[in-house]
């Protein structure tokens, strides 16, 4: 019968499941934080990266060795140190050799290691690698007991906890990693600047962040680019966290055809190049950036080059702003300087990161010095015995010959009293203290010294070899004194660190790649819109749109015109004016309210389109638009006269208010003027305080008066009487008198006239006025008054949507009380409803545009 095997005793313990889950998760989280995701603050490596370098060091894959298959490196790493999947290990190895990810690569690759286009690397059986020079600096002195070693995963060998790292890897190459509940994202830096910062901290331990930033201005990415502003850098350096706005480096070129193109030569860090090209193409196809005609990638082995071809007359600055907003040519790099300090994750500022490396190097040099001091002392101890023995070599040989075996010979040697012989050569070569000590009294060999004598070769008995022993001993004495000085004198130790840093600068330093420029504001939509003049039209029932000013060609007086808008049945264009796309639109309604709108918010549409309902842009309700004023800003320039808004109502009331009072309207509008129940606002104009005002009525009456007669009032006031109306007449227009201008009057039947302003004598405000035009059956009632120059053009709009553009130089100036001339041939049942001038400077801009085309 087989003997029953004793079963182990099972133990059950009751505990809350929430506590067990919490403790287990915390243990898992700490394991991920310490053993996988976060770098050590001393050497800047994660365990996987460190183990790869150690495995390559075991294979002697230095910068001067031959490349070895990556499969071999990965296999040794996984088998000896890192018991995880080979694909994860290979991915880590590949990244250490990618110069667009690492500022200073630690692996020298051979073969396809991927590309900045996110192309995957070739399989590890095809690629080869060896360590780059900076990696060798990190492994230097590893065998001198400079760092602690722990057993590997199966306890078959030892692996270092951290590398000695003469190379400041964490600071120059940075790190990125996602742990449980935290993530690190440390940017790379320039080695020369980091070395200068380390030297500064060593030389001046009390230096501040401002002092450090003088030698270390900011991160230096391997892909170059431009860091916009220093605030994010200051935040990251002082607190360990910050956000950098990084832009691509671009330049504008002009091709042989005279067309401009934007060339991208450097891109932000961690951005995939192909994603930029595809995103630009997507923006072009979707109409987001219509100014681009073509985009192509011309990158080659000489460098990165993305070419963005622009259409004719496209503004490169506007296109660049759009590219920054809609593509990854501008990105935000979030800095989180989290690293392991004593196996605990900490958020470090730049001073703490520099100090961590200095402290690590101080500890490494101390441990190396102790190791070398111990080795030198042991060797010197052996040499002391050899030197004593060779001075009395005949008796030493006799003792060995007469001894029956090696142990006895060792004991006999140890019992033999020895004294340094009076040899002049030895006394000259050996240190004086040694000669003095060993020349007096008897000295006995120790066990190690006796063993060394027993193993000594006969050739060491020659005179030349004896001198070599003496010289070696003298050299060891000097080394021992040097190591003792390092361990006892802090300044000597710091001198070694300084010397190492200067050597790093000379061997591996290079120029800065990333430019640090001034801060840029957050891109507003205004930065994405070209600053150009456009025509804005608003229809009677509230459809608004904007069009280029060259949409309508200039025609002769009396022409038929072209269709200016595909209006709905019963609708017609009521307002038309010229404004810049960056202007503000103050929209005044017939009920005396003011709304705020940007010109670029007005939809850009073709000449034939009807536009978009203004109800989608402004909350007007049942109100109708009385006037729209375009202004570039609300604040007056220093030294310039204060700008005013003058308003007129159909009942002849006028009011003047400062423009700045309308600079902060609400979404539901603000009160512009208090109106009587039966009154309505018909016009608003901008003045500078010293102008004359002309009011024109439907029945052809006008009055001219100085605006000084209208005092400036508050925004919600009523106003004063401007003209005394008779027989149910109403005011249809208001004009601000300009120097050398003329008053152009338009009647509903297509007739009008131009009369010099000097024909309208100034009167007192509130009078009956003078006759301006005969409102006969031929002319019809007055619909518009405009102050014009002979160089201006005129836009005429009919109720059926017909528009004609004509030059005023074709219309001669005639007297005040006349009927005028035909301006447009109207179709039966159609009438003129509005008129708008195009100023001479706008015509000059158009002429330049036609000439360049």
pLDDT digits (tens, 9 = 90+) for 151-208: 999 999 999 999 999 999 999 999 998 877 788 999 999 999 999 999 999 999 999 9
pLDDT per residue over 354-411, tens digit each?
Answer: 999 999 999 999 999 999 999 999 998 888 888 877 777 788 888 888 888 888 988 9
- Give helix 47-58 / helix 86-96 axis angle, nearest 10°: 80
Q: What is the pLDDT of residue 121?
A: 96
Write out the residue limits of the CATH 3.30.1360.40 domain(s) in the chain: 249-328
What is the C-alpha separation between 323 and 309, in angstroms, rounded? 13
Q: Where residue 844 falls among pLDDT bands split at 50, 70, 90?
A: very low
- CATH homologous superfamily of 32-167 equals Topoisomerase II, domain 5 (3.90.199.10)
Q: What is the pLDDT of residue 277?
A: 94
Q: Where residue 570 falls among pLDDT bands split at 50, 70, 90?
A: very low
Q: Is 760 a catalytic residue?
A: no
Q: What is the pLDDT of residue 572?
A: 56
Out of 196-200, 528-532, 561-565, 685-689, which region has the weakest mean confidence (pLDDT)?
Answer: 561-565
* % pLDDT > 70, the chain: 89
Out of 63-77, 288-302, 497-511, 635-649, which region has the weakest mean confidence (pLDDT)?
Answer: 635-649
Report whether pLDDT(564) > 60: no
Q: Where residue 850 falls among pLDDT bands split at 50, 70, 90?
A: very low
- Give me Rg for the CA atoms of the chain: 45
Partners of residue 784 on adjacent β-strands: 746
Out of 461-465, 691-695, 761-765, which region has the weakest mean confidence (pLDDT)?
Answer: 461-465
CATH no., domain 531-852: 2.120.10.90
What is the C-alpha separation between 713 and 778, in angstroms, rounded? 41
Q: What is the pLDDT of residue 32?
A: 63
Q: Where residue 323 falls among pLDDT bands split at 50, 70, 90?
A: very high
Write out the residue limits of the CATH 1.10.268.10 domain(s) in the chain: 359-506
Average pLDDT over every residue of 686-711: 88
The architecture of the domain spanning 359-506 is Orthogonal Bundle (1.10)
Q: What is the pLDDT of residue 732?
A: 87
Q: Where residue 586 falls among pLDDT bands split at 50, 70, 90?
A: confident
In terms of C-beta distances under 8 Å and separation of at least 24 residues, what long-range contacts does 283-289 make, across chains too?
Answer: 283/322, 283/326, 283/327, 288/322, 288/326, 289/319, 289/322, 289/323, 289/326
What is the C-alpha separation between 319 and 308, in angstroms, rounded? 10
The DSSP letter of residue 566 is: -
Looking at per-residue pLDDT, the higher value among 471 and 500 belongs to: 500
Partners of residue 694 on adjacent β-strands: 704, 735
Q: Which of 325-339, 592-606, 753-767 has the highest mean pLDDT?
A: 325-339
pLDDT per residue over 416-451, tens digit each?
Answer: 887 776 655 566 677 777 776 666 667 788 888 888
Going by C-alpha positions, the residue among 813, 819, 682 that lies closest to residue 746 is 819
Q: Which of 126, 153, 269, 662 is catalytic?
A: 126
Report whether pLDDT(640) > 80: no
Report whether pLDDT(28) > 80: no
Report whether pLDDT(705) > 80: yes
Q: Which of 34-48, 233-247, 810-824 has the highest mean pLDDT?
A: 233-247
Q: What is the pLDDT of residue 60?
A: 95
C-beta separation of 550 from 846 below 8 A: yes
What is the C-alpha separation between 722 and 705, in angstroms, rounded? 8
Q: What is the pLDDT of residue 1?
A: 46
Q: What is the pLDDT of residue 842?
A: 47
Report whether pLDDT(849) > 50: no
Going by C-alpha positions, the residue among 89, 152, 335, 106 that lies closest to residue 236 is 335
The mean pLDDT of the chain is 85
The architecture of the domain spanning 249-328 is 2-Layer Sandwich (3.30)
Q: What is the pLDDT of residue 5?
A: 58
Write out the residue limits of the CATH 2.120.10.90 domain(s) in the chain: 531-852
pLDDT per residue over 653-665, tens digit each?
Answer: 999 988 888 887 7
Report whether pLDDT(89) > 90: yes
Q: What is the pLDDT of residue 204?
A: 93
C-beta separation of 244 from 227 below 8 A: yes
Report whether pLDDT(280) > 90: yes
What is the C-alpha separation between 736 and 787, in angstroms, rounded? 7
Write out the residue limits of the CATH 3.90.199.10 domain(s) in the chain: 32-167
* % pLDDT > 90, the chain: 43
DSSP string, 496-537: HHHHHHHHHHHHH-----SEEE-------GGGGS---EEEEE
Longest dimension (CA), the chain: 153
Average pLDDT over every residue of 250-267: 91
φ/ψ of residue 667, rounded to 5: -60, -30
């Amino acid at each position: 019968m087989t003997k029953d095997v004793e079963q182990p005793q099972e133990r059950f313990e009751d505990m809350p499941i929430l506590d067990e889950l919490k403790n287990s998760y915390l243990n898992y989280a700490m394991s991920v934080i310490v053993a996988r995701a976060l770098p050590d603050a001393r050497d800047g490596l994660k365990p996987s990266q460190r183990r790869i370098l150690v495995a390559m060091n075991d294979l002697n894959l230095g910068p001067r060795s031959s490349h070895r298959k990556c499969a071999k490196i990965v296999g040794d790493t996984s088998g000896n140190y890192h018991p995880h999947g080979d694909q994860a290990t290979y991915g880590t190895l590949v990244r250490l050799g990618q110069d667009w990810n690492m500022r200073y690569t630690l692996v020298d690759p051979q073969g396809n290691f991927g590309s900045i286009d996110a192309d995957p690397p070739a399989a590890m059986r095809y690629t080869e690698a060896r360590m780059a020079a900076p990696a060798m600096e990190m492994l230097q002195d590893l065998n001198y007991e400079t760092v602690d070693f722990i057993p590997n995963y199966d306890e078959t060998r030892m692996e270092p906890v951290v590398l000695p790292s003469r190379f400041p890897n964490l600071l120059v190459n940075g790190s990125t990693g996602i742990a449980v509940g935290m993530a690190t994202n440390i940017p790379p830096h320039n080695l020369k600047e980091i070395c200068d910062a380390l030297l500064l901290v060593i030389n001046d331990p009390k230096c501040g962040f401002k002092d450090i930033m003088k030698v270390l201005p900011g991160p230096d990415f391997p892909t170059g680019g431009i860091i916009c502003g220093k605030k994010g850098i200051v935040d990251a350096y002082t607190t360990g966290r910050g956000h950098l706005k990084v832009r691509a480096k671009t330049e504008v070129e002009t091709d042989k055809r005279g067309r401009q193109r934007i060339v991208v030569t450097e891109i932000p860090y961690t951005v995939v190049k192909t994603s930029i090209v595809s995103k630009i193409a997507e923006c072009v196809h979707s109409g987001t950036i219509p100014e681009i005609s073509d985009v192509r990638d011309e990158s080659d082995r000489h460098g990165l080059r993305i070419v963005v071809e622009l259409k004719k007359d496209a503004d490169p600055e506007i296109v660049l702003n759009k590219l920054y907003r809609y593509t990854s040519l501008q990105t935000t790099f979030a800095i989180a300087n989290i690293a392991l300090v004593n196996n605990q994750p900490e958020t470090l500022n730049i001073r703490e990161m520099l100090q961590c490396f200095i402290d690590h190097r101080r500890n490494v040099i101390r441990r190396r010095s102790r190791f070398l001091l111990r080795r030198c002392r042991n060797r010197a101890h052996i040499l002391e015995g050899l030197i004593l023995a060779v001075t009395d070599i005949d008796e030493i040989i006799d003792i060995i010959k007469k001894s029956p075996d090696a142990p006895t010979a060792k004991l006999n040697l140890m019992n033999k009293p020895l004294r340094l012989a009076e040899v002049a050569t030895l006394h000259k070569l050996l240190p004086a203290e040694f000669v003095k000590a060993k020349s007096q009294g008897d000295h006995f060999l120790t066990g190690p010294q006796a063993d060394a004598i027993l193993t000594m070769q006969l050739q060491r008995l020659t005179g030349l070899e004896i001198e070599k022993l003496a010289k070696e001993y003298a050299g060891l004495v000097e080394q021992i004194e040097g190591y003792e000085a390092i361990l006892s004198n802090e300044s000597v130790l710091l001198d070694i660190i300084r010397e190492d840093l200067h050597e790093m600068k000379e061997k591996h330093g290079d120029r800065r790649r990333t430019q640090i420029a001034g801060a840029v504001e957050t891109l507003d939509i205004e930065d994405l819109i070209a600053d150009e003049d456009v025509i804005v039209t608003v229809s009677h029932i509230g459809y608004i749109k904007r069009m280029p000013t060259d949409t309508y060609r200039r025609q002769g007086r009396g022409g038929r015109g072209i269709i200016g808008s595909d209006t709905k049945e019963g609708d017609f264009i009521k307002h038309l004016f010229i404004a810049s796309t960056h202007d503000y639109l103050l929209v005044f309604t017939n009920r005396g309210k003011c709304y705020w709108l940007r010109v670029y918010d007005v939809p850009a549409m073709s000449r034939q389109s009807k536009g978009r309902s203004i109800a989608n842009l402004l909350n007007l309700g049942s109100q109708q638009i009385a006037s729209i004023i375009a202004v570039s800003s609300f604040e007056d320039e220093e030294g310039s006269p204060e700008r005013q808004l003058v308003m007129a109502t159909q009942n002849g009331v006028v009011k003047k208010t400062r423009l700045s009072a309308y600079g902060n309207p609400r979404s539901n509008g603000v009160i512009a003027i208090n109106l009587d129940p039966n009154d309505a606002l018909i016009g608003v104009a901008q003045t500078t305080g010293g102008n004359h005002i002309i009011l024109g009525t439907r029945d052809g009456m006008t009055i001219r008066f100085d605006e000084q007669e209208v005092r400036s009032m508050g925004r919600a006031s009523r106003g004063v009487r401007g003209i005394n109306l008779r027989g149910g007449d109403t005011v249809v227009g208001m004009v601000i008198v300009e120097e050398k201008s003329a008053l152009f009057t338009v009647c509903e039947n297509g007739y009008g006239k131009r009369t010099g302003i000097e024909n309208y004598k100034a009167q007192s405000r509130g009078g009956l006025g003078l006759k301006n035009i005969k409102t006969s059956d031929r002319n019809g009632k007055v619909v518009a008054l405009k102050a014009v120059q002979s160089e201006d053009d005129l836009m005429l709009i009919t109720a059926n949507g017909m528009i004609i553009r004509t030059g005023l130089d074709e219309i001669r100036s005639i007297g005040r009380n006349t009927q005028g001339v035909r301006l447009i041939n109207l179709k039966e049942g159609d009438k003129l409803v509005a008129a708008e001038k195009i100023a001479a400077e706008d015509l000059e801009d158009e002429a330049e545009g036609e000439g360049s085309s």
